[in-house]
Amino acid sequence: MQSTNFAPWGIPGLPGLTDFGKTAFQLPGAPDIGRLGQQLGSFGASMAPAMQAFADLKIPPAELARIQAEYLRQAAELWNNSLSAGATTLQGDRRFSSDAWATNPMAGFAAANYLLNARTLMELADAVQGDEKTRARVRFAVQQWIDAAAPSNFLALNADAQKKALDTKGESLSQGMALLYKDLQQGHVSQTDESVFEVGRNVATTEGAVVFENELFQLIEYKPLGAKVYERPMLFVPPCINKYYIMDLQPENSLIRYTVEQGHRLFVVSWRNADQSLASKTWDDYIEDAVIRAIRVVQEISGSKTLNTLGFCVGGTLLATGLAVLAARGEQPAASLTMLTSFLDFSATGVLDLFIDEPGVRLREMSIGADAPGGPGLLKGSELATTFSFLRPNDLVWNYVVGNYLKGEAPPPFDLLYWNGDSTNLPGPMYCWYLRHTYLEDKLKVPGALTVCGEKVDLGAIQCPAFIYASREDHIVPWDSAYLNTRVLKGPLRYVLGASGHIAGVINPPAKKKRNYWKNDDLSGTAAQWFEGATSVPGSWWTEWTDWLNPQGGKLKAAPKALGNRSHPPIEPAPGRYVKQKA
């Protein structure tokens, strides 16, 4: 097998996305999608640590000989079968599941040969000697090559796309070109029909008002939906790497609306989409001037010294850090803490660990961090979004490349994917601090190892019950890693595991009667032991959470007649201006 270096990744044999753009259509006058390729290929910058892993790979000679012999045997068998049977039977891969592949001998053979090569490459990757992180990087990079090189990604080899082009007399190709041109203008591959949605019109529509704002965030208070509310208010801290309205997509799947319906007086942080004016902001700024400031404002408006709190993804990490800073100052404002798919212990971060090492983090610090020669910069939201998409490339990248451009099929409207494409920038110094002290050095869980806002941080000093939720198929915060949070927090704990992934597992309203969750009050063992003893419960974990949360709310009292107070009057209706700012 020949090896060739391609620019976007710089990994032997890994095709560049710009080159893919030039060859995917193979039509006279087809536009060069280099610009889009560069945007997709920015993922390659995040894979820089993997490049060195390929410099000196070693496979035991005996294992290499076995893999080669098996490959030759299967290749000969495949060739002989294709000569005798005509069509090739393809099973187990939805990319090649249609009749067009089965009835086209050349396309079927190409797909079967590709699958054989893919299996062999992964066997070679698994046989590589070295430390576990290097081996994992090799496997990941090889898988990226395999997914990019699939014959379904190229018009000249895609039997489905060719059949549709013939059936539509070329109309599908024309439509594909139009969709490609549109994506070139917007700078990313469309995963949904973005024209259907508008923040504040048909997503993020729960009624409320912005009652406070500073340069980092707006605080939204939501209008009660009943005559009474719990005496303790509730504060949500969403991830700052995404827009908050993942928790308020539609009324029927809105965690925000659901929480208000349960009788909680709810406040939600809406992060500002960072621009160059915020490029110098630090992790300390996000803790002191956002998380802690939001807690203060909720206390001032509600008149309650204590409140229930919830953090989602990195919002959970920010919230817990803020509560630990306040604990060091002798304050315990949280009556409860809910953490949704969040890290506190970063010792096992799953596939994201492949991107993190000292040279990579130092490169970030030198380019966009506080000490960057040209001054602090921004981590572009599009770069983060692309990296996360390439963690599941067949589902979140190539599926849309094939559907949009090769088949000319505009993606249908889907609120979650609209949100997924609404990316958010981060200040470089803030991001670099987070990258170094959590993912790289894993110091946040160590009592007193980090100083934040002038205080030694001890997450174990947070004195409140905690509800920890994880999703079983989460590839961003693996469920067994989230389980490690039970060793960091010291108050009464409840750990619940939901089905599905990082987002779909969280956004699972009870009315849908979908999926299931697992619970087990015994947290003494490992994650595997916990799961072995867990009980599966049908439906949504939301009801389990509210059964736990409602007693933390205190007594019921008359709902406020107006939002905010004299010191913090309503500024504008929800969802506010900040969430509408584009990266």
User: In this predicted structure, what is the pLDDT of residue 3?
Assistant: 32
Rounded to 5°, the CA angle 221-226-228 comes to 90
Among 2.40.110.10, 3.40.50.1820, 2.60.120.10, 3.90.245.10, what is the CATH number of 208-380+423-580?
A: 3.40.50.1820
Confidence of residue 90 (pLDDT cuts 50, 70, 90): low
Nearest CA to 522 out of 535, 507, 539, 511 is that of: 535
Render the burial of 267-287: b for 16+ CB within 10 Å, e for the rest: bbbbbbbbeeebbebbbbbbb
Inter-CA distances, 273 with 233, 241, 384, 573, 578, Å: 26, 9, 14, 18, 7
- Lookup result for tokens 């910058």: 45
Query: What is the chain's mean pLDDT, rounded?
Result: 89
User: In this predicted structure, what is the pLDDT of residue 386?
Assistant: 85
Structural domain spans, the chain: 17-187, 208-380+423-580
Highest-confidence segment of 33-37, 95-99, 352-356, 542-546: 542-546
Confidence of residue 375 (pLDDT cuts 50, 70, 90): very high
Confidence of residue 18 (pLDDT cuts 50, 70, 90): very low
CA distance 12 to 17: 14
Q: Phi/psi at 77 (nearest 5 deg)? A: -65, -40
- Lookup result for tokens 């079968």: 81
Inter-CA distances, 118 with 96, 150, 195, 346, Å: 14, 9, 38, 32
Residue 565 in this model has a pLDDT that exceeds 70: yes
CA distance 119 to 117: 5
Rg of the Cα atoms in the chain: 26
For the annotated catalytic residues, the residue numbers are 313
Three-state secondary structure call for residue 368: helix
User: In this predicted structure, what is the pLDDT of residue 188?
Assistant: 84
Number of other CB atoms surrounding residue 574 within 10 Å: 26
Residue 305 in this model has a pLDDT that exceeds 60: yes
Mean pLDDT of 403-418: 94
Long-range pairs for 433-441: beta carbons < 8 A, 24 or more residues apart? 433/282, 433/283, 434/283, 434/314, 434/317, 435/356, 435/361, 435/364, 436/361, 436/365, 437/283, 438/317, 438/343, 438/346, 439/346, 439/349, 439/352, 439/353, 439/356, 440/356, 440/357, 440/358, 440/361
pLDDT digits (tens, 9 = 90+) for 23-72: 333 333 333 334 344 433 444 444 444 444 455 678 999 999 999 999 99
Q: Which residues contact 539 (CB under 8 A, 6 or more apart)?
A: 510, 513, 514, 515, 516, 517
Token digits of residue 436: 């170094």
Cis check: omega of the bond before 411, within 30 degrees of 0: no
Confidence of residue 91 (pLDDT cuts 50, 70, 90): low
Sign of the C-alpha dihedral computed for residues 236, 242, 244 and 245 taken in this order: negative
**What percent of the chain has a predicted confidence (pLDDT) above 90?**
77
β-sheet bridge partners, residue 335: none
Q: Which residues contact 72 (CB under 8 A, 6 or more apart)?
A: none
Residue 427 in this model has a pLDDT that exceeds 80: yes
- Parallel, antiparallel or unpaired: strands 307-312 and 234-237: parallel
pLDDT digits (tens, 9 = 90+) for 92-133: 788 998 889 888 888 888 999 999 999 999 999 999 998 888
CA distance 37 to 380: 17
Give Cα 141 distance to the centre of its chain. Answer: 19
DSSP secondary structure string, 323-347? HHHHHHTT---EEEEEEES--S--S
pLDDT digits (tens, 9 = 90+) for 495-517: 999 999 999 999 999 998 999 99
Mean pLDDT of 162-174: 96
User: In this predicted structure, what is the pLDDT of residue 105?
Assistant: 86
Number of other CB atoms surrounding residue 90 within 10 Å: 18
- Parallel, antiparallel or unpaired: strands 535-538 and 516-519: antiparallel
- Lookup result for tokens 């019950």: 465
Looking at 27-41, 102-116, 361-375, 410-424, which range is the least confident one?
A: 27-41
pLDDT digits (tens, 9 = 90+) for 224-261: 999 999 999 999 999 999 999 999 999 999 999 999 99
Query: CB–CB of 361/115 below 8 Å?
Result: no
Query: CB–CB of 468/485 below 8 Å?
Result: yes
pLDDT digits (tens, 9 = 90+) for 449-458: 999 999 999 9
Render the burial of 440-449: b for 16+ CB within 10 Å, e for the rest: bbbebbeeee
The DSSP symbol for 289 reads I
CA distance 120 to 516: 37
pTM for this model (two decimals): 0.87
- Parallel, antiparallel or unpaired: strands 455-456 and 466-471: unpaired
The DSSP symbol for 49 reads H
**What percent of the chain has a predicted confidence (pLDDT) above 70?**
89
Query: CB–CB of 468/442 below 8 Å?
Result: no
User: In this predicted structure, what is the pLDDT of residue 86?
Assistant: 58
Query: CB–CB of 434/301 below 8 Å?
Result: no
pLDDT digits (tens, 9 = 90+) for 196-216: 999 999 999 999 999 999 999
Confidence of residue 583 (pLDDT cuts 50, 70, 90): confident
